[in-house]
Amino acid sequence: MNLNDPDDGGKRVAAVQRAFEVVSVLRDAGTVRISDVADALDIPTSTAHVHLKTLESAGYVVQGADGYRLGLQFLRDGAVARSELRAYSTAKSEIDNLAESTGEVANLGVEENGQRVIVYQAEGSEAVYDNALVGEYTNMHWTALGKAILAELPDDYVEEIVDSYGLPTATENTIDTPEALFETLTAIRERGFALEDEERRTGIRSIAVPLEVEDRVVGAVSLSGPKERFDDDRIEDELLPALKDRTNVVEVKIAYE
Amino acid present at 43: I
Q: Is residue 235 part of a domain?
A: yes
Domain membership of residue 116 (yes or no) is yes
Summarised one tens digit per residue, pLDDT across range 144-158 is: 999 999 999 999 999
Tell me the whole-structure pTM to 2 decimals: 0.86
| CATH number of the domain within which 34 lies | 1.10.10.10
**Which of these, 169, 161, 235, 243, lies nearest to 201 by C-alpha position?**
169
Question: Which tops the pLDDT comparison, 166 or 5?
Answer: 166
* 6-39 pLDDT, tens digit each: 555 567 788 899 999 999 999 999 999 999 999 9
Task: Give the mean model confidence (pLDDT) for residues 207-219.
Answer: 93
Per DSSP, 168 falls in state: -
**Do 116 and 155 share a domain, yes or no?**
yes
Contact by Cβ (8 Å): 53, 68: no
pLDDT digits (tens, 9 = 90+) for 127-139: 876 667 888 999 9
Q: Which of 44, 71, 98 is the last residue of a domain?
A: 71
Q: What is the CATH number of the domain that holds 251?
A: 3.30.450.40
Higher pLDDT, 256 or 223: 223
If one counts the domains in the chain, the total is: 2
Residues of the domain holding 88: 81-255
Q: Give the integer Cα–Cα distance in Å for 30 and 153.
A: 35
Among 102, 78, 103, 107, smallest CA distance to 91 is for: 107
Asked if residue 1 belongs to a domain, the reply is: no
